[in-house]
Amino acid sequence: MSNTFRNSYLFAAIITVIGAILFSTKAVLIKLAYQHPIDSLSLLALRMLFSLPFFIGILIFRKNEAIDLPIARGDWLKMAAIGMSGFYCASYLDFIGLQYISASLERMVLYIYPTLVLLISAIAFKQKISKIQYIALVLSYIGVAIIFSGKISTVGNSNPLLGAFFVFFAALTYAIFLVGSGQLLPRIGTRRFTSYSMIAAAVAVLTHNSIANGFDLLKYPLEIYGIVLFMAIFATVVPTFMIAEGIRIIGANNSSIIGAIGPVSTIVLAYFLLGERLYPLQILGTLFVISGVLLITLNKNKQRLNSKSI
């Protein structure tokens, strides 16, 4: 694969969409895990424990592959803080929220994060929101509104308001992660940034769990470990690098809008795997969301690309 294509808008859009779809399986896998006796913190700790060897291995391989520029002292602290925001705070809040609401509803609430990304970027970094981003967001949120206007499955919705409260703050902390990633990724590189930030988050999660639960992670049914292993590889490690690379090339704002495909795929998966109903209005809303994704993806001439390879 040529460096030119690896830094193209089309490549970034493709890997961002695939990454978003893989990430969307996380909510369904969590709901499947909750069918067994396990709490949210222990489940998150297992996810990070299973993911940690992959990130350490990738980091070691990266060091053997090329000589990287030194990381500034301030960037080390920023990476740790951003990693804990996106993969500790956001994940933990999301895991708690999923104890009370269905996977479909969780993904719809979590999708508030693109608006928060744009708002944080505009306030903190004075980044102008373009007309095409406004249009794409409007189309996507019309789709979300249509989905909510119809019936939502009652499967898994034991306390919708409490669950939505936790998921909203998960969206906020994830938006902070995305904005911070967009600032650090171009100069640190996708693999180094993602590996170090995930390692920091894993240390935080495992420390929290050891204090709260005594780090007793070997008492669960075998099915739990199978679900968590799949979650670690295909809903954590692989999509994390895909999304990070997409952010590096096209920025946090456009990556977050393209990631609108995630809620759609969650609804479909939840329908087939969890029995959450998919109603006609949800299908119509899906078409609006996909329209917004296509609009921002095809607008490659208005995005300044980062041509630096890593």
Q: Does 247 score more than 60 pLDDT?
A: yes
Q: Tally helices (H) and strands (E) across the chain.
A: 14, 0
Please classify residue 222 by burial: count the beta carbons closer than 10 Å to its beta carbon, then call 0-12 exposed, 13-18 middle and 19+ buried. Answer: exposed
Q: Which of 47, 136, 149 is nearest to 108 (CA)?
A: 149
Mean pLDDT of 135-150: 80
- Which of 61-70, 184-193, 198-207: highest mean pLDDT? 198-207
- Tokens coding 20: 């978003």
**Residue scoring higher pLDDT (42 or 183):** 42
Q: How far apart are CA 42 and CA 92, in angstroms?
A: 10
pLDDT value for 299: 59
pLDDT value for 283: 79
| pLDDT band per the 50, 70, 90 thresholds, residue 62 | low
Q: Does 220 score more than 90 pLDDT?
A: yes
15 CB contacts (<8 Å, ≥6 apart)? 242, 243, 245, 246
Q: Does 235 score more than 50 pLDDT?
A: yes
Hey, how many other C-beta atoms are within 10 angstroms of the C-beta on 74? 8
Q: What is this structure's pTM?
A: 0.82
pLDDT value for 301: 40
pLDDT value for 164: 84
pLDDT value for 284: 86
pLDDT value for 36: 93
Q: Does 125 score more than 60 pLDDT?
A: yes
**Residue scoring higher pLDDT (193 or 113):** 193
- Per residue in 10-40, pLDDT tens? 888 899 999 999 998 999 999 999 999 999 9
pLDDT value for 10: 86
| pLDDT band per the 50, 70, 90 thresholds, residue 300 | very low
pLDDT value for 99: 94
- Per residue in 145-180, pLDDT tens? 887 777 766 777 788 778 888 998 999 999 899 888
Mean pLDDT of all residues belonging to the chain: 84
**Residue scoring higher pLDDT (97 or 285):** 97
DSSP H or E run through 238: helix 238-258
Query: Is the Cβ–Cβ distance between 104 and 164 less than 8 Å?
Result: no
pLDDT value for 68: 66
**Residue scoring higher pLDDT (2 or 188):** 188
Going by the DSSP 8-state scheme, the letter that residue 300 receives in this structure is G
Q: How far apart are CA 105 and CA 117, in angstroms?
A: 20
Q: How far apart are CA 181 and CA 86, in angstroms?
A: 10
